[in-house]
């Protein structure tokens, strides 16, 4: 089986980054990391209180994640990576650069997913609106766009098709 290289599964909270990332890492037998596990306690408290993170809150976090990705030839990272400059920062230490998979879904679908989720610090519609307002949708040549409006097995097969090079970046 071909190894995936460095893969970053990105999108707003509730789009399925962690689930998809874990499943891809398991399939390819490579390490998986969830960016949420690397937030400072200050950032977690802010988000739990319904306060969006600022760019300043994210700088050290993104640097830690960039180092983590660079340490592995083959790895899957689940990370929101909402802005283009965050994606650049995540890849700054890696040669070759990581490939991005953008899990795309509309506000209503993701809101329903978040309402069904328990035990997570992400809180409320205001936070989700903030993420959608912050999101700079990556250009198709910079990330595969995978629709999440499908069962998980279909989303995973689309991701694997992209990783394996047998599919376009808009699926």
- Residue 84 inside a domain? The answer is yes
User: Cα-flanking dihedrals φ and ψ of residue 121, to 5°?
Assistant: -75, -15
Enter the pTM of the model.
Answer: 0.91
Say if 119 falls within a structural domain.
yes
Check which CATH number belongs to the domain holding 125 and give it: 3.40.50.300
**Cα end-to-end span (Å), the chain:** 22
95 contacts 51 by C-beta, under 8 angstroms:
no
Could you identify the residue written with the tokens 């998809």? 20
Q: Give the whole-angstrom CA distance, residue 106 versus residue 12.
A: 10
Q: Provide the number of structural domains found in the chain.
A: 1
Mean pLDDT of 150-161: 96
Number of Cβ within a 10 Å radius of residue 72: 15
C-alpha to C-alpha distance for 117 and 95, rounded to whole angstroms? 36
Decide if 168 is inside a domain. no
> Are 145 and 170 spatial neighbours (Cβ–Cβ below 8 Å)?
yes
Within-domain flag for 8: no
**18 lies in a domain?**
no
Chain segment 97-121, per-residue pLDDT in tens = 999 999 999 999 998 888 876 655 5
Query: Does some domain include residue 2?
Result: no
Domain that holds residue 158: 24-163
What confidence category does residue 139 fall into, taking pLDDT thresholds of 50, 70 and 90?
very high
């Amino acid at each position: 089986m071909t190894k995936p290289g460095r893969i970053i599964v990105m999108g707003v909270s509730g789009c399925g980054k962690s689930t998809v990332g874990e499943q891809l890492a398991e399939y390819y037998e490579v390490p998986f990391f969830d960016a949420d596990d690397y937030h400072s306690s200050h950032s977690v408290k802010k988000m739990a209180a319904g306060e969006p993170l600022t760019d300043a809150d994210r700088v050290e976090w993104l640097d830690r994640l960039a180092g983590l990705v660079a340490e592995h030839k083959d790895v899957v990272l689940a990370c929101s990576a909402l802005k283009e400059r965050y994606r650049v920062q995540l890849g700054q230490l890696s040669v070759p650069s990581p490939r991005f998979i953008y899990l795309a879904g509309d506000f209503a679908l993701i809101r329903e997913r978040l309402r069904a989720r328990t035990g997570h610090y992400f809180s409320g519609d205001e936070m989700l609106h903030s993420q959608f307002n912050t999101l700079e949708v990556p250009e198709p040549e910079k990330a595969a766009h995978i629709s999440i409006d499908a069962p998980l097995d279909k989303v995973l097969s689309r991701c694997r098709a992209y990783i394996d090079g047998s599919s376009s970046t808009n699926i």
